[in-house]
Amino acid sequence: KFPSAVKIVEVGPRDGLQNEKQPISVEAKVALINTLADAGLRNIEAGSFVNPKWVPQMAGSEEVFQNIARKAGVSYAALTPNMMGFERAMAAGATEVAIFAAASEAFSQKNINCSIAESIERFAPILQAAQAQNLPVRGYVSCIAGCPYEGEISASKVAEVSDILFQAGCYEVSLGDTIGTGTPAIIERVVDLTSKKIPMSQLALHAHDTYGQAIANIYRALQMGMSVFDSSIAGLGGCPYAKGASGNVATEDVVYLLSGLGIQHGIDLPKLLHAAQGICTVLGRETHSKAGRALAGT
């Protein structure tokens, strides 16, 4: 029942760092992205082109994209909320973009200052422009298991918004448990309903580990045949518009799980630990990855 191979989408440089208050230099971000690519990650979300007043940490994304040592076969993606963001991403040389909607009206308003329906309208020209240049577009749906403002979110709403993004042309839809309140039972229901609309191979789970449920949720999704997972090096992260959202699930922990299950992932764990050590030194913090802590120095 498990997939034989899994694709990991590394979101640390974007979802991880966007929440950091301390300034992080372009050099440090570039070094992080380069070491992640060296560790075997093939899909790296390297930054976002949003309003810098809203998310100051991502203001330097142009310079980051311009300075990465591009590795063949690696996709360097950027979050783009509107056409201005898309144009900035193209000028900087992003090889993939991601649009981001929510299954919660309140979260949509707080995060991107418009309703869910308005956000879909804003994304239409991005999808059109991307298609014209054969650029892949990924779609996110936030708050799939709960919203910091609305509380419970229905699985049918998640499936509905996911389907809209997929029908509009996203090649993959990532289900975001933004505040990490999901448990395997909730994830099962959401994945079950959503996979009735979108092929399982084109669905991803974007787990945050706020309540320590991320690995259990990923395990449940794996059992259901899901094969794409978003994670963040050293468990960096959070979301500026989701109070209490701690880091994304740590990439090291996901890799450890997959190796234990005999599922291919293509990642070199010692090199991944090296990448984690680099960014943790910059941040002056210990890693949030349990596997990372256990393996440090071994």
Q: Which is nearer to ligand HMG, 113 or 128 (CB)?
A: 113
Question: Under the criterion CB under 5 A, does residue 172 sit at the interface with Mg ion?
Answer: no
Q: Strand pairing partners for 207?
A: 177
Q: What are residue 47's phi and psi, to 5 degrees?
A: 175, -175
Q: Which of 7, 8, 12, 15 binds Mg ion (CB under 5 A)?
A: 15
Q: Contacts with ligand HMG in 118-137 (CB under 6 A)?
A: none
CB of 50 to ligand HMG, least distance (A): 3
String marking each residue 81-120 x if it binds ligand HMG according to CB under 6 A? xx-xx--x-----------x----------xxx-------
CA–CA separation, 209 vs 187, rounded Å?
13
Q: Contacts with ligand HMG in 32-51 (CB under 6 A)?
A: 48-51
How far from the centroid of its chain's Cα atoms is residue 256's Cα?
19
Assess whether 114 carries a catalytic annotation. Answer: no
CB of 244 to Mg ion, least distance (A): 13
The option from ligand HMG, Mg ion, none interacting with 259 (CB < 5 to 8 A, set by class) reads: none
Q: Contacts with ligand HMG in 159-218 (CB under 6 A)?
A: 176, 178, 206
Q: What are residue 290's phi and psi, to 5 degrees?
A: -70, -45
Contact 77, 95 (CB under 8 A): yes
Q: Which is nearer to ligand HMG, 59 or 283 (CB)?
A: 59
Instruction: Output Rg (C-alpha) for the chain, integer angstroms.
Output: 17
What residue number has its CB nearest to ligand HMG? 176
CA–CA separation, 271 vs 280, rounded Å?
14
CA–CA separation, 141 vs 158, rounded Å?
7
CB of 17 to Mg ion, least distance (A): 12
- Distance (Å) of CA 257 to CA 66, 219, 222, 291: 34, 8, 11, 9
Q: Which of 239, 258, 276, 279 binds ligand HMG (CB under 6 A)?
A: 239
Which sequence positions are flagged as catalytic? 239
